[in-house]
Structure formats: C-alpha cells, structure tokens
Amino acid sequence: MVLQTSTGPNHVLDEVVLMAVAKTKGYRFEPARGYLGPRPKGDTYRYMMIDDRVEEVREVVVHEFTMGDVEDPDLYAADPLWKWQESESGAWIMENAVETPCWHRIPDQFQYGYRYEIRAKLSGARLTEWLLKYGNRSKNS
C-alpha cells in the first residue's frame, strides 16, 4: 500500500488516513463475517458454469436484523441466525444457494449496536424464485 501526502485541500484527510494506518499497522477494517455451514472451497464468480450452461450469480441480502450494544454480539446473534436458518425461507436458501450463505456484522452508528445481514449467492431462476416467493418480507422478519 502506497500512501502519498499532499498540500492540497485534502491534506488534513491524508494526515488522518496516515495516522489511522500507522495505528492499525496497515490493517483494513471490514465487517466481521461467518458462514452458516462449511466454508466454500473455491471462489464464486459473477458468471459460472452450472451443470451444462453459463449462469449469472448474484449476491443478495436474504435476511437482516439489528442487535443492541451487547458484550458479545456474535453470541447473542446466534439465536436469531439459527431461527432464520430453520425457518421456511432459511431452509430454502440453505438448499438452493450456489455456496454456503454467510452473515456479516456491521456497526450501526445510529442505534449504537450492530446490524446483521445474511447474504447468499443465487443464480438465474433460483434468484427469480426467491424474489417472487420471499423477496420483501424476508427483511427484519
């Protein structure tokens, strides 16, 4: 990673970035995530061979919920994650996703807690079926 400083209008921003990188030793922060099953063995690309044809694969948010500011948010989120996985829509996703769905923990700056998203990669007809069958009611349910 190459960082450059300037004397232009973004000079202060450049200094803040340099200080942040210096404090974290170059580590880039990303939301915490985990898988709802075994970790995928290979990479998933936007266009993949599925059976005997090429299909487009899209990652969609299939469920989300909020968690308050608790000591161990992943431990407290385990129950809603498990209940969703055992629900009708969760079971459908676990069966029809291209690879194992994953959850992401994202800090919620407005409510001082966390927002959890479950994301799954679906292809072609399965994506259309998901949107028609479960589309909008899957969020915050």
Per-residue pLDDT of the chain in tens (141 residues, 90 and over written 9): 344 444 444 444 444 444 444 444 444 445 576 766 666 666 666 666 667 777 788 888 999 999 888 888 888 999 999 999 999 999 999 999 988 899 999 888 888 889 999 999 998 888 889 989 887 654 444
Which pLDDT does position 57 carry in this prediction?
84
Which pLDDT does position 4 carry in this prediction?
43
The CA distance from 74 to 34, in Å, is 10
Q: Are 38 and 101 contained in the same domain?
A: yes
Q: Are 66 and 4 contained in the same domain?
A: no
Q: Are 22 and 66 contained in the same domain?
A: no
Q: Are 17 and 35 contained in the same domain?
A: no
Q: Are 21 and 59 contained in the same domain?
A: no
Q: Are 127 and 71 contained in the same domain?
A: yes
Q: Are 22 and 40 contained in the same domain?
A: no
Which pLDDT does position 69 carry in this prediction?
85
Q: Are 46 and 109 contained in the same domain?
A: yes
Range of the domain at 130: 31-138
- Please state the pTM of the whole predicted model: 0.66
Which pLDDT does position 12 carry in this prediction?
43
**Residue 112 to residues 56, 64, 68, 96, 126, Cα–Cα distance (Å):** 37, 16, 7, 34, 36
If one counts the domains in the chain, the total is 2
Which pLDDT does position 64 carry in this prediction?
92
Q: Are 91 and 124 contained in the same domain?
A: yes
Which pLDDT does position 112 carry in this prediction?
85
Q: Are 15 and 43 contained in the same domain?
A: no
List own/partner pairs for 25-34 with CB under 8 A and 24 or more apart: 26/1, 31/104, 31/105, 31/106, 31/107, 32/74, 32/104, 32/105, 33/102, 33/103, 33/104, 33/105, 34/74, 34/102, 34/103
Which pLDDT does position 39 carry in this prediction?
64
Residue 29 in tokens: 């922060």
Partnered with residue 34 across adjacent β-strands are 103
Q: Are 18 and 38 contained in the same domain?
A: no
Q: For 16-74, give the DSSP string.
A: HHHHHHHHHTTPPP--EEEESSSPPSS---SEEEETTEEEEEEEEEEEEEEE-S-S-HH
Q: Are 16 and 44 contained in the same domain?
A: no
